[in-house]
């Protein structure tokens, strides 16, 4: 299958690039080719590339991911996370191509302890979540007859980019102890599993556009950031001690949801995708020299 991917340097985009071959041809469009901060220009760039590259589906793996920075730069984040996905979805619909867009658990307020279902009311706590929710709404409103999916995920990690695993490995090698938030619970999700899920969904939509909608995909089992950190230290054989603290003792410019659990049952039922075990994925990530770079 020929897939056009928006994004190049992000964790999921890099994993999608690795799937090229074995029946898949992947073309990446980075910011130099399609700057999502200028949605209309990015849409025109996408139209141009489609003339050259006969894609069979489009995956948007590009986003503004600076959660705290979005609090003071919401307009800029909104262009990338809100306006651009709707534009891209419209181009996909015009071309008759399935469209897969990656979103986040931050569209929820994190109340309670029950996993959020795809149809649960969205109530983002901060600017980042608000901009991502606008993108979801835009993609859904296009109503692409060729098929569309908004795939919400959480706590993405890999051997590259900026993520929690790499931060913990760096700090764990420098310090005897780290204080890590223990009252935020979610599903750490390996970027390579998200990439494979996006490919599976794109293929499924090409065969049956009625599978369109919002779906969830996150790693299992659910854990706190502190639990995640302890497992990183254990698997990396680092003696750094993890001390549990509440979110109140680690204030950030943007509020974080306490409950980031996602109900992923529809993704299993509709696409046959099970939640990946993040502990097994972590073991693979730690064998990559880039994880400790």
Active site residues: 128
Instruction: Write the secondary structure of the chain as one string of H (helix), E (strand) and C (coil).
Output: CEEEEECCCCHHHHHHHCCCECCEEEEEECCCCCCCCCHHHHHHHHHHHHHHCCCCEEEECCCCCCCCHHHCCHHHHHHHHHHHHHHHHHHHHHHCCCEEEEEEHHHCCCCCCCCECCCCCCCCCCHHHHHHHHHHHHHHHHCCCCCEEEEEECCEECCCCCCHHHHHHHHHHHCCEEEEECCCEECCEEHHHHHHHHHHHHHHHHHCHHHCEEEECCCECCEEHHHHHHHHHHHCCCCCEEEEECHHHCCCCCCCCCEECECCHHHHHHHCCCCCEHHHHHHHHHCCHHHHC
């Amino acid at each position: 299958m020929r897939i056009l991917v928006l994004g190049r340097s992000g964790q999921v985009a890099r994993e999608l690039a690795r799937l090229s071959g074995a029946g898949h041809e992947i073309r990446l469009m980075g910011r130099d080719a399609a700057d999502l901060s200028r949605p209309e220009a990015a849409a025109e760039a996408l139209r141009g590339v489609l003339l050259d590259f006969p894609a069979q589906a489009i995956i948007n793996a590009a986003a503004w991911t600076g959660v705290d920075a979005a609090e003071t730069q919401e307009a800029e984040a909104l262009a990338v996370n809100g306006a651009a996905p709707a534009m891209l979805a419209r181009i996909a619909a015009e071309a008759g191509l399935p469209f897969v867009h990656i979103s986040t658990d931050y569209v929820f307020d994190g109340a309670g302890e029950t996993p959020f279902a795809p149809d649960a009311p969205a109530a983002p706590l901060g600017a980042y979540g608000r901009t991502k929710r606008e993108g979801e709404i835009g993609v859904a409103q296009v109503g692409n007859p060729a098929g569309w999916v908004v795939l919400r995920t959480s706590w993405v990690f890999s051997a590259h980019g900026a993520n929690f695993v790499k931060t913990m490995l760096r700090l764990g090698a420098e310090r005897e102890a780290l204080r890590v938030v223990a009252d935020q619970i979610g599903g750490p999700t390996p970027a390579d599993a998200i990439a494979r899920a996006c490919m599976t969904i794109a293929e499924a939509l090409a065969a049956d556009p009625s599978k369109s909608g919002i779906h969830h995909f996150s790693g299992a089992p659910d854990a706190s950031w502190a639990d995640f950190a302890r497992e990183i230290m254990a698997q990396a054989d680092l003696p750094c001690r993890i001390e549990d603290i509440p979110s109140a003792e680690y204030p950030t410019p943007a509020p974080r949801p306490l409950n980031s659990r996602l109900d992923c049952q529809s993704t299993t039922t509709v696409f046959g995708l099970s939640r990946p075990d993040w502990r097994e994925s972590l073991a693979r990530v730690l064998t990559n020299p880039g994880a400790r770079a």
